[in-house]
């Protein structure tokens, strides 16, 4: 289940003793989701989607044990939202923790996520909710040292949060590690997991975990691949769906800016300067542009920081934390940051590149206007993107408003931007960073066996919708 604004949500589950996605339905539905924790609770809005809290139900009313109710309160969750009361929002953290309280064991639950950042976020929130129970978690993702992860697994954590590629590496190569006693399997952002071609790895994982288990699939959309996986991996599944309409929230002001392609950078600089008081995420389609634009903006005095899949994992987490904490007010990111991540108080989303499809647009702009707050999005539209804009407008059922700019002020920036762009190109070449980056820039210091990160498909070749087999040609063109 995605936490993006206005998206439809569906969850499927089997053999579960709790939660709405439950075959037996013997307990109350689960109200909580790690993706929602830590956000907007003090405002009385217990989720990022602007959902109104329930008027009467409490977490205790849903059958949650007192220890977990206290955890919810400590995180600022006063009461569940109406959707959480119905059990339709990411119903895995609290039911898993409650079951673990009743019968503790190592390797109790596995949560699979499509991106490393989402895996870390889920782990942090599960740890926070489970702190009264002494829950041990381990994060198993690419880009980090294999040996350190093996040591963490040897300590027999209760809950593992992982990306499929690195998890499979450990199942195949870490001595003594297995999931034969697993009780819960959660696939968060299942549609994204399958869109990113994790399918064959997930098939392998399903073969080495118990068939008798509780399984939850959470997806922003019920795609054909998710439906197929549901039929293949769940026993008598129950499907819960909230809102069949996939749209944006009413508090989001959506604009487009029509411009010539060759002057896109100048228009971006103009917007960044005019709206400099806002906290913003600038989305690009490629790693190269994310890195290049962050350098250009930084050289021109703007507090910008990049986030993309070819940065080392430690650098990715550092960028995200700096932006979340307010240390940087501009995040220039690929679609690594478009889904699932809880980034509070984003005032503005700028689509430097048009998203590859309408649903990606909804996920991107869902980073702002959360929890009932207002927000703004501006999509840069070149002469080649008009048809895509029209498709997005048809999809969301709204017409975007043209964003007016001072054309003379933009023209003044042409030379400045051209100079900064040349300097950025030199810096990227010297440091080996960006889409054409060399070995130095992509994942400095990563541990483990060479090439294991190829199995973690949260990279930006896939994020940008570019097939891997064409990547060599892309690199040659950039050179």
Query: DSSP characters for 4-72?
Result: -TT--EEEEEES-SSSSS-SS--SPPP---TTTTTSSGGGT--STT-PPBPSS--TGGGT--HHHHHHH
Alpha-carbon distance of 265 to 246, in angstroms, equals 31
Sort strands 252-258 and 401-402 into parallel, antiparallel or unpaired: parallel
Mind listing the domains of the chain with CATH numbers?
9-242 (3.40.50.300), 252-431 (3.40.50.300)
Work out the widest C-alpha separation in the chain, in whole angstroms: 68
Query: Is pLDDT at 103 greater than 80 in this prediction?
Result: yes
Q: Three-state SS string across 98-124, please?
A: HHHHHCCCCCCEEEECCCHHHHHHHHH
Q: What is the pLDDT of residue 260?
A: 96
What is the spatial order of strands in the sheet that 238-242 belongs to? 137-140, 159-162, 109-112, 184-187, 214-219, 9-14, 238-242
Please give the span between the terminal C-alpha atoms of the chain, in angstroms, as a whole number. 40
Give me the pLDDT at residue 37, please: 28
pTM of the model: 0.69
What is the pLDDT averaged over residues 96-114? 94
Show the tokens assigned to 356: 């590859």
pLDDT single digits (tens) 293-334:
999 999 999 999 999 988 998 999 999 999 999 999 999 999
Q: How far is 254 from 16, CA to CA, in rounded Å?
A: 41
Q: Looking up tokens 């990279």, which residue turns up?
A: 459
Q: Are 91 and 83 in contact (CB under 8 A)?
A: no
**Tokens of residue 426, six digits:** 């030199």
pLDDT of 23 over the 50 cut? no
Can you give the pLDDT at residue 78? 67
Better pLDDT: 124 or 109 = 109
pLDDT value for 332: 97
The span from the CA of 361 to the CA of 145, in Å, is 34
Residue partners of 411: CB distance under 8 A and separation at least 6: 266
Which H helix or E strand runs over 448?
none
Cα–Cα dist 344/166, whole Å: 29
Beta strands in 165-274 (DSSP E): 184-187, 214-219, 238-242, 252-258
Rounded CA separation 54/386 (Å): 41
Helix (H, G, I), strand (E, B) or coil at 377: strand
Q: Per-residue pLDDT averaged across 345-372, rounded?
A: 89
Q: How far apart are CA 247 and CA 474, in angstroms?
A: 33
């Amino acid at each position: 289940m995605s936490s993006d604004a206005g998206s439809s949500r569906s969850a499927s589950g089997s053999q579960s003793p709790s939660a709405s996605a439950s075959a037996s339905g013997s307990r109350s539905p689960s109200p909580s989701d790690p993706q929602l924790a830590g956000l907007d609770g003090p405002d009385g809005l217990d989720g990022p989607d602007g959902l109104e809290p329930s008027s009467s139900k409490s977490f205790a009313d849903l059958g949650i044990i007192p220890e977990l109710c206290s955890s919810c309160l400590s995180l600022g969750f006063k009461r569940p939202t109406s959707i959480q009361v119905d059990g339709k929002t990411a119903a895995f953290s609290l039911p898993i923790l409650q079951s673990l309280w009743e019968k503790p064991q190592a390797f109790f639950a596995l949560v699979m996520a499509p991106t490393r950042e989402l895996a870390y976020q889920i782990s942090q929130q599960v740890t926070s909710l489970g702190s009264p129970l002494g829950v041990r978690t381990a994060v198993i993702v690419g880009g980090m040292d294999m040996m350190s992860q093996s040591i963490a697994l040897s300590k027999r954590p209760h809950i593992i949060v992982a990306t499929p590629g690195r998890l499979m590496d450990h199942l195949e190569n870490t001595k003594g590690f297995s999931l034969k006693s697993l009780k819960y399997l959660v696939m968060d952002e299942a549609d994204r997991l399958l869109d990113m071609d994790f399918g064959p790895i997930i098939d392998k994982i399903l073969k080495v975990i118990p068939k008798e288990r509780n399984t939850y699939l959470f997806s922003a959309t019920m795609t054909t691949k998710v439906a197929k996986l549901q039929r293949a991996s769940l026993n008598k599944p129950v499907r819960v769906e909230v809102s069949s309409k996939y749209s944006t929230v009413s508090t989001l002001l959506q604009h487009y800016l029509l411009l010539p392609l060759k002057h896109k950078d100048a228009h971006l600089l103009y917007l960044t300067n005019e709206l400099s008081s806002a906290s913003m995420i600038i989305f690009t389609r490629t790693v190269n542009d994310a890195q290049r634009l962050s350098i250009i903006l930084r050289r021109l005095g703007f507090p910008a920081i990049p986030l993309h899949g070819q940065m080392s994992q430690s650098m990715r987490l550092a960028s995200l934390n700096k932006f979340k904490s307010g240390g940087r007010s501009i995040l220039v990111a690929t679609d690594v940051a478009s889904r699932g991540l809880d980034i509070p108080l984003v005032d503005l989303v700028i689509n430097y590149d048009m998203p590859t499809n309408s649903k990606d647009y909804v996920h991107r702009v869902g980073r702002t206007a959360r929890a009932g707050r207002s927000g703004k999005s501006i999509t840069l539209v070149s002469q080649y993107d008009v048809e895509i804009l029209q498709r997005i407008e048809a999809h969301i059922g709204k017409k975007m408003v043209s964003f007016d700019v001072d054309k003379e002020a933009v023209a003044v920036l042409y030379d400045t931007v051209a100079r900064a762009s040349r300097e950025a190109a030199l810096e990227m070449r010297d440091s080996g960073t960006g889409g054409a980056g060399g070995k130095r820039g992509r994942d400095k210091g990563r541990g483990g066996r060479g090439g294991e990160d190829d199995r973690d498909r949260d990279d930006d070749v896939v994020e940008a919708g570019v097939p891997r087999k064409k990547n060599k040609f892309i690199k040659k063109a950039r050179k």
